[in-house]
Amino acid sequence: MMRIYNTLTQRKEEFHPLESGRVRMYVCGMTVYDYCHLGHARVLVAFDVITRYLRHRGYDVHYVRNITDIDDKILRRAEENGEPFSELTDRMIRAMHEDEARLGVLSPDEEPRATGHIEEIVAMIHRLIASGHAYEADNGDVYFAVESFPDYGKLSKKKLEDLVAGARVDVREAKRSPADFALWKAAPEGEVSWPSPWGDGRPGWHIECSAMSTKCLGDTFDIHGGGPDLLFPHHENEIAQSECATGHPFARTWMHAGAIRVDKEKMSKSLGNFFTIREILEKHPAEVVRYFLVSSHYRSQVDYSEDNLVEAGRSLTRLYHALRGVTPAKSDSVPETGHDRRFAEAMDDDFNTAGAMAVLHAVANEINQHRRDGEDLEARQSAAVLVRLGAVLGLMQQDPEAFFQADTGGELSAADIEAMIQARADARKARDFAEADRIRDELADKGIILDDSREGTTWRRG
């Protein structure tokens, strides 16, 4: 039985979806005003693995991940760039899709945009006003009345009185209570806006997720996920406005990925330790970055450093080394093994990818032992298991030679390396061993490792 840690109850619970065999999951996506950073990669990869494993377990998963394509940051950036906001968001969405594809992240089943659901947002706000949970302020904004929802704070465990006591109200706001939050923002003349019963404006941040998730998945669904910074106030506010608007419980299980730290410090632009996915992928292969993110439990804090990326590369290399020169048997011809069961036990325990990764390395060791013993069939069967389980984590799907020879932006292209290997072979044939050694050393200095065998010479980037 699968057990998932529920942020709402703060404990692991047996997972029973609302509909047998079907999982409905919503994850808060990106606000697309800039390139995705490492924290986004953490969330993208974490919920990609969760989706892959649920499907591996036989569930029909309907995975929805939204896009916030209208908010203050987007409008400010578009103004700075001197471009329409929609051009900025379209460009950033394309970049996001490129980044996630390189990281092996599967596309969600639905990817709704806030600007495409204004009608649903306005309808939900209208219901909240009609039921006394929201009000139109003197400045044209519409606010949710937090005190109208007695369960406010049940996700974050924050007390309303403490929030009210510590709140600071912007002079431009017209709230009745400092804890109230905007559902609709009146737009100044000339600013991007949509018509509504309360005047031209645009939606607040929180309401868009409530409107889109219920539109795509229903009033109540199985899993709601996101990054650690969204727990409060975003997810807390989603619960309040959704349950008041529908009269039903919102998400049954809440999941939050862990934070990213860089060299043991919080990642932030002010500290100069802020990295986009693109910057990292210029220096490290995408699968190595994915391995690094997957090797830690999704709820744990991840410490990003060059040393940790290098170690992730070494670990992934060991797995691919086990597959090198072995043709995996057809997966459907290899029955479930003890490795499959141990992998499932780890993943059933709140998606324990660290434990699952240990199983992959055990399988790799088994392949190496079969090869040493000359057991070709057994090696091929174990290789099939490694590829099969690796796929659940989004790993080990490349041809080993493609992995080892991937161009990571070094001095030498694959063609350059092959030419030097041929020159070395010619030197050895002419018994010019000094020249052969010189070529090998030159390649080693540039991070190219040669492996000689009876079948010939193979190479890999170190």
pLDDT surpasses 90 at 291: yes
| pLDDT computed for residue 455 by the predictor | 65
Residue 134, Cα to own-chain centre: how many angstroms?
34
| pLDDT computed for residue 184 by the predictor | 98
- Annotated binding-site residue? 266: no
Average pLDDT of 24-41? 96
pLDDT surpasses 80 at 256: yes
| pLDDT computed for residue 408 by the predictor | 58
| pLDDT computed for residue 418 by the predictor | 81
Handedness of CA 235, 237, 238, 240 (dihedral sign): positive
- Annotated binding-site residue? 269: yes
Pick the CATH number of 19-110+258-304 from 3.40.50.620, 3.30.310.80, 3.40.50.1220, 3.40.50.300: 3.40.50.620
What angle (nearest 5°) sits at the alpha carbon of residue 422, between those of residues 419 and 427?
Answer: 125
Output 173 or 441, whichever has higher pLDDT: 441
pLDDT surpasses 70 at 242: yes
pLDDT surpasses 70 at 409: no
Answer whether CATH 3.40.50.2020 is correct for domain 306-404: no
- Annotated binding-site residue? 28: yes
Domain spans in the chain, listed from the N-terminal domain onward: 19-110+258-304, 306-404, 414-461
**Among 117, 123, 367, 329, CA closest to 246:** 123
Average pLDDT of 237-265? 95
| pLDDT computed for residue 96 by the predictor | 98
| Token digits of residue 364 | 């790799």
Contact call for residues 120 and 215 (beta carbons, < 8 A) = yes
Alpha helices in 147-275 (DSSP H): 160-166, 205-217, 236-246
Categorize the per-residue pLDDT at 446 as very low, low, confident or very high, splitting at 50, 70 and 90: confident
pLDDT tens digits along 274-289 = 899 999 999 899 999 9
Across 74-88, 128-142, 369-383, 442-456, least confident range: 442-456
Categorize the per-residue pLDDT at 421 as very low, low, confident or very high, splitting at 50, 70 and 90: confident
Contact call for residues 254 and 39 (beta carbons, < 8 A) = no
| Token digits of residue 53 | 């494993």
pLDDT tens digits along 179-225 = 999 999 999 888 999 999 999 999 999 999 999 999 999 999 999 99
pLDDT tens digits along 342-364 = 999 999 999 999 999 999 999 99
Q: What is the mean pLDDT of the chain?
A: 93
pTM: 0.90
324, with CB counted inside 10 A (0-12, 13-18, 19+), is middle
pLDDT surpasses 60 at 171: no
